[in-house]
Structure 1
């Protein structure tokens, strides 16, 4: 339908020309010099920086997108052959690079920044290898010999490690539990859990006390049983009269001790202390007598 509207517009523009009227136009293919649209008889400039209006840049960007969409639809056909598919894929990548130049020019002229926006156009249909950034494969080009193996054996690089600043960037007080007391339900659950834990500990303590009490009751019975068994096993030993125990003097434990050094008694120690005190007093108050004795 778009092609029909375009053809009728071309025909109308030709008929309006002075040197060509309805009688001379016999139908068929229109000449290349047909004038239609806002940029009639103009080809897309090879250098985007030569265009100085945002409107014209937008026009050529849309023109590239239309051409890329047609080529992507064509490259879906795997019966085109390997060479044709490779050529189409190269042409699509070339047009996408040119589209990027027009987007840069639009931004430089004060227009929209298309590169910062999420991609919603034909670029989303392409698959890109991590080792060949900037070149994409579309449609049947992904299944070409040599390309499929690259996609299967491609090692996805690890994500860059975040810095400490990035890790703490979005942390809020909730992460540290500073605002837990503001939640009434959480406090209620904590109280219920605490009560259950206390009840459980009390039940365990009571069970331990019951076990200990039962052991204490069984202990004397076991002792009596052992004594009775010992009496039955050794009746002769118990029949013999026990010899009276004689208390040993406390000093008898050291009877076997032998001193190989003269140990001074308390009297000798007191005598030596008195002698030392006398000598110190004489040295202090009568140094002449001490010198004469020496």
Structure 2
């Protein structure tokens, strides 16, 4: 099955910040030999947009994010960053995973510094890298924990280190694969507000994969809903109308919020 977008908020332009152009992806399957996870899929994301990808389980959300990040190659079609093909991971595309992937023998600050040094560290002096690491740890409220190792931090604090590390690389596009999915409800609530504040302060392009409709509505400018797999694709492109800066209580009490929430849940339930 190949599904095209029912409503595309923005047409493909000559050089959007990030674009998927007729991408497909499949993997070997134990019984079927080969299973195409993503059918032909196209969309574009403007510079400075916050776009969230949601979809039923098995719809290829994480696979799509890996294609956008250059961590996987599409079977056909292409991914473009500012009009240039994405063929491998790069510093221009920052990634935050659901698991923070911190080095356990390094402190929080050293984990951020390690990423800076590994990705073009020679472009900056040691003092500049130190300043950047401390700046981003402060913004995620971890200044007091900067000298602690991951084993001394809670799960939410560890994920904040991962977020600070990704922001510190100053990537043009920040790709996030359910970064808050493994957290308890209270920690997730707090980090959603921190991520909202950071995304509104930082004029970068954001792509978030989540299974949480409320999270998507709070954070996003647009929501791409994937159809049910196999051969999933963009079922609908939904514009989120809430002005920025956003207040969670104001957003969640809006009649538009409740209507969009029902629509999104309906799309996820039907999946086609």
Q: Fold conserved (TM > 0.5)?
A: no
TM-score (norm 2): 0.22
Flag the structure with higher helix content.
1
More strand by share: 2
Q: What is the TM-score when the length of structure 1 is the normalising length? A: 0.21
The higher radius of gyration belongs to: 1
